Homo-oligomer: A and B are copies of this chain.
Amino acid sequence: MADAYVHGYHRRENERLQDQAGALVELLHSDTAYPSGSTVLEVGCGVGAQTVTLAQRSPAARFTSIDISASSLAEAKQRIDAAGITNVELRQADIFSLPFDAGSFDHVFVCFVLEHLSRPLEALSILKGMLRPGGTITVIEGDHGSAYFHPQSPAADAAIQTLVELQRRTGGDALIGRQLYPLLVEAGFDAVQVSPRMVYVDSSRPDLVDGFTRKTFTAMVEGVRDSTISAGLISAEMFDAGIRDLHRTAEGDGVFCYTFFKGVATRS
């Protein structure tokens, strides 16, 4: 897998992924549960942020969670062990050359992965091949073009746009959420159903102000500060103004909106 991971692999990024998982678990995962005895392939488990949630919600399913990064898998192992989870097998693997037999899983789960791939359609086709007939795939992705807020800020828009551009340069697509339906259909899945999961944040929801606006979204944009400035995509002054304005949306009269998309589909 040649694609770089735009967010990097640092500790602060891991904390961001944990905050994100905590605040959004209900919104993204509450309707995902796998039957007893079923086999689930989790693709791109990273540091295990979603793995713990998945495995706890389906304690009698058996998960095989793969990632390309050995260091992320080491983090994931710590997290899974700390949670006392025993139904997850971690394995280092590349989504484009999977070490599994065709049709060997009942379900596939992919969360925040396609956005980083230069060939998401090919990845979906490969994953379809991993499913038994009648098996399902669940895909969750964000869409940075869905972010808008009050007060408005051209600087914040520009800072976010540099993240989109950086991700494009590493072969990814930060606007992939809105494309899940056509991607799943084109990959040959049936019964494709996509539902948006909108995060609406105002000061009546302090957990989301902190957990999402500040520690998830703004932190994610902040995380590319050095790379986007050194790539010449934006001036330091403009970027920092954008970050300040994103923090401004977390104040009492601020509002922040972002939408994730969740698609579920079947292999006939």
On A, residues with C-beta under 8 Å from B are: 143, 145-146, 148-150, 152, 175, 178-179, 181-182, 185-186, 192-196, 198, 200, 202-204, 253-255, 257, 259
10 contacts between A and B (CB under 8 A): A146-B148, A148-B178, A150-B178, A178-B255, A178-B257, A181-B202, A182-B253, A182-B254, A182-B255, A194-B200
Q: A186-B253, A257-B259 are in contact. Are A175 and B204 (CB under 8 A)?
A: no
- Report whether over half of chain A's contact residues are helix, strand or loop; otherwise say mixed: mixed
Closest Cβ neighbor of A261 among chain B residues: B200
Provide the residues of chain B in CB contact with A253, threshold 8 Å: 181-182, 185-186
Question: Which among A192, A195, A253 has the greatest number of chain B C-beta atoms within 10 A?
Answer: A253
Bound CA–CA A183/B185 (angstroms) = 42
Bound CA–CA A259/B196 (angstroms) = 11
Closest Cβ neighbor of A256 among chain B residues: B178
Closest Cβ neighbor of A152 among chain B residues: B175
Nearest CB on B from A258, distance (A): 11
- Give the contacting residue for A200; candidates B145, B186, B195, B202; CB below 8 A: B195
Provide the residues of chain B in CB contact with A179, threshold 8 Å: 150, 255
